[in-house]
Structure 1
Amino acid sequence: MRSIACFKHPFSSRRLGAGAWTALTIVAMLAATPAVAQDPYPNRPITVISPYSAGGDADLAARNFAAAAQRALSQAVVVVNKVGASGVIGSVQALASPPDGYTLLLARTGSQAILPAIMPTTTKYKWDDFEFIGTLEVNPYGCVVNGKSPYRTFGDLVDAMKVKGKAMNFGTAGVLTTNDMGPRQLFRLLKLTDQTPTQIPYKGTGEASMSLVAGQTEFACGSLGSFLALIKSGQLRALMVTNPERMASMPDVPTARELGYAEMEGIVGWSAVYAPPNLAADARARLVAAMKVIADDPLWQAATAQTGSLPYVKSPSETRQFVQKHFQLYRSLGESLNIIDSKAQ
């Protein structure tokens, strides 16, 4: 049998077989090849989880953010609606995602402040379990009636509540939402105790709005962006806003403070951007920088205004303080109404 040809290494007196020599050659080539740097974040599409149904306030905020973030980050940003359990299902999915910056959450008042405050044992996360990237917007809040309603002023509505009590009804997008908690705060301030109007929960703000237009419910309170088109068309009438100042788009509608209900000012909708905890430092820095760019983006500002919302971009630390304030508001309200999940007592 012929022997396999061997080569003598120039720096060794030993003879090496062809296989060993090939292996050494590969190792040497790898060692001489410069290390390829990992592409900076983001180098692939980003997913934004919207924990509520398409077409609502959260969905519109998520899509406006995604469009602006795509411009700011030069990377595709896709919105995915993960609905269920008043925003908990989508929030839990975002929380459990890898902390690499490729899965974000469109955070909302109900899923990130109200539920952790009122239902802490079933929500499955705390208000501060997430990484705060920044707030996006606030949604002016108020109470509305049908355009043909006999209640011409907020005082008329309040007087009717005091007389009719449970015989009155109001539509909401579900329990433990701002549509639900705003009226609860109002009823508390009016000292209606157990004689409060009856809540009719619907699957979303769209259904709640249409029930009011159809005369199936007598009033509703919520983010005015959901009612704005119907208010402009005259099908609904706004009676009060919780903004500190009157809204330019509805200058004739008085504020809660003007009406003597300053404590209603804390009730307001908002959107923010969250990420899973322990977010990679490079992703965090890039996202926070992108938020500053988005804040000055005229296209995002215009899209936000079209929904009836007000731009409100804040830093991570300011966002944390803002959300904590709202969590504490709803926790206090829940305690006063004795509606905190009993297992958490």
Structure 2
Amino acid sequence: MTTRKARREGIAAMAARASVAALMVSIACLGAGAHAADKYPDRPITLIVPFSAGGDADLAARNLAASMRDTLGAAMVVANKAGANGSIGSKFVRDAAPDGYTLLLGRVGSQAILPALQADLAYKWDDFTFIGVLELNPMVCVVNAKSRYQNLDDLIAAIKANPGKLNYSTSGPATVLNLASQALLKSASLPKTAAVPVAYKGGNEATTAVLSGEVDFTCNNLTSLLGHIKGDKLRVLVTTSPTRLKDLPDAPTASELGHPKLEAVSGWSALLGPPGMDRALLEKWTGLLRQVDQNAQWRTAVETLGSVPRILEPKATSDFVKDQVRLYGDLGQALGIQIK
């Protein structure tokens, strides 16, 4: 009995020592992470844009990099790594070291639409560290300024009266331009074939098609439309912004016109990192983005580009992207769209 008791006590003591050792290792790791975050960044940070230079994503990234000059303590270098609808640059960041020196300017197409609609995509929507949503880039449905459709009700009535006759421009079936227009048809209880999509190379070409009269309407990112709207060449029918836009105070929102579900269809930018970023680094970035949110220069630049400043913290960002993936997954399933 004495021997068994001694053996049990010995085992218990060994377990206690192991627990203490594990706890000390955890504390040491936390301390090391905090110390690394204190020194971070001590060299330039690369911000990967998974699309070409000059587009909405590139402009959002360069605006963020410029606004961080005085608060970050190191340069933020924007690098364009375009291709495969944004998946090449996104995968590059997913596979990078989680040290905070390689980050991603995520967009709705690369972080929500592709994961929702492409079964063989090399990454999943949640294969990243979510740092923060930066801005919303609302969709705006427009017609040519000379069009006979004066408002959204006029357009919807014409589509109902002439099914399959009116057309709209997109940048491809699995893009937010097409999905926004289809969401509009769905919200108006119209079938997906009620209006005919015409695909162009990109958002600018889709806008030009409305300006030239090749198509009847388009739903595009405000950034691509704002100059033409202010130049009285395009007429706004509806915006997907939650409130009226500062630059377009007369443009009605989707909710005002009885289409509240359209609010979820919007472009956006978010800052993401590789999986496994240290909690201390994430907390540091949360604080940095809070400062960005108070930066008047950044907010003005965002609004000038036709976007809405909307800084979200990590948990809210993860929830937001998850909801976006679900939204576009449901739309893609309803429309029979799958990216191959």
Q: CA deviation at 1:282?
A: 4.5
Q: CA deviation at 1:187?
A: 1.9
Report the AA paired with residue 48 of structure 2.
I
C-alpha distance in structure 1 between counterparts of 2:176 and 2:82, whole Å: 17
Report the AA paired with residue 210 of structure 2.
L
Alpha carbons of 1:178 and 1:194: their partners in 2 closer, same or farther (altered >3 Å)? closer
Alpha carbons of 1:194 and 1:133: their partners in 2 closer, same or farther (altered >3 Å)? closer
Q: CA deviation at 1:332?
A: 2.2
Given that 1:56 and 1:226 are in contact with CA atoms closer than 8 Å, whether structure 2 keeps it comes out as: no
> Which residue of structure 1 aligns with residue 77 of structure 2?
78
SS of equivalent to 2:163: helix
Aligned counterpart for 2:326 among listed residues 325, 328, 334: 328
Aligned counterpart for 2:183 among listed residues 182, 185, 204: 185
C-alpha distance in structure 1 between counterparts of 2:100 and 2:275, whole Å: 10
Alpha carbons of 1:341 and 1:220: their partners in 2 closer, same or farther (altered >3 Å)? closer
Instruction: Show the 5 A alignment for 1:153-172.
Output: 153-172=151-170
311-320 vs 184-193, greater mean Cα deviation: 184-193
Q: CA deviation at 1:170?
A: 1.5
Given that 1:141 and 1:221 are in contact with CA atoms closer than 8 Å, whether structure 2 keeps it comes out as: yes
Alpha carbons of 1:195 and 1:177: their partners in 2 closer, same or farther (altered >3 Å)? closer
256-265 vs 272-281, greater mean Cα deviation: 256-265
> Which residue of structure 2 aligns with residue 90 of structure 1?
89
The answer to whether residue 53 in structure 2 is matched with residue 54 in structure 1 is yes
Aligned counterpart for 1:197 among listed residues 181, 195, 198: 195
Q: CA deviation at 1:194?
A: 4.9
267-276 vs 215-224, greater mean Cα deviation: 215-224
Aligned counterpart for 2:250 among listed residues 249, 252, 270: 252
Given that 2:182 and 2:192 are in contact with CA atoms closer than 8 Å, whether structure 1 keeps it comes out as: no
Q: For structure 1, list consecutive stretches of 5 or more residues without a partner in the other structure.
A: 1-36
Given that 1:133 and 1:275 are in contact with CA atoms closer than 8 Å, whether structure 2 keeps it comes out as: yes
C-alpha distance in structure 1 between counterparts of 2:163 and 2:77, whole Å: 46
> Which residue of structure 2 aligns with residue 100 of structure 1?
99
> Which residue of structure 2 aligns with residue 24 of structure 1?
none
> Which residue of structure 1 aligns with residue 291 of structure 2?
293
TM-score normalized with structure 1 length? 0.82
C-alpha distance in structure 2 between counterparts of 1:173 and 1:49, whole Å: 23
Instruction: Show the 5 A alignment for 1:37-48.
Output: 40-48=39-47
Instruction: Show the 5 A alignment for 1:263-274.
Output: 263-274=261-272
1:246-266 deviation digits (Å, cap 9, x = unpaired): 223222222222222222121
> Which residue of structure 2 aligns with residue 15 of structure 1?
none
> Which residue of structure 2 aligns with residue 146 of structure 1?
144
Q: Which of structures 1 and 2 has the bigger CA Rg?
A: 1
Given that 1:45 and 1:76 are in contact with CA atoms closer than 8 Å, whether structure 2 keeps it comes out as: yes
Given that 1:41 and 1:282 are in contact with CA atoms closer than 8 Å, whether structure 2 keeps it comes out as: no
Alpha carbons of 1:71 and 1:176: their partners in 2 closer, same or farther (altered >3 Å)? farther
Alpha carbons of 1:257 and 1:284: their partners in 2 closer, same or farther (altered >3 Å)? closer
C-alpha distance in structure 1 between counterparts of 2:292 and 2:48, whole Å: 18
Q: CA deviation at 1:118?
A: 1.8
> Aligned pairs, how many?
305
SS of equivalent to 2:164: helix
Q: CA deviation at 1:290?
A: 1.4
SS of equivalent to 1:53: coil
Q: CA deviation at 1:67?
A: 1.0
Given that 2:204 and 2:224 are in contact with CA atoms closer than 8 Å, whether structure 1 keeps it comes out as: yes
C-alpha distance in structure 1 between counterparts of 2:83 and 2:162, whole Å: 34
Q: CA deviation at 1:300?
A: 0.6
1:82-140 deviation digits (Å, cap 9, x = unpaired): 22222112111111112111111111111111221122x23221111110010101112
SS of equivalent to 2:125: coil
Q: For structure 2, list consecutive stretches of 5 or more residues without a partner in the other structure.
A: 1-34
Alpha carbons of 1:179 and 1:152: their partners in 2 closer, same or farther (altered >3 Å)? same
Q: Percent same amino acid at aligned positions?
A: 43
> Which residue of structure 1 aligns with residue 221 of structure 2?
223
> Which residue of structure 2 aligns with residue 67 of structure 1?
66
SS of equivalent to 1:42: coil
Q: Which has the higher helix share?
A: 2
1:263-305 deviation digits (Å, cap 9, x = unpaired): 2121111110000101144433332221111111111111111
Alpha carbons of 1:173 and 1:305: their partners in 2 closer, same or farther (altered >3 Å)? same
SS of equivalent to 1:238: strand
Report the AA paired with residue 112 of structure 1.
Q
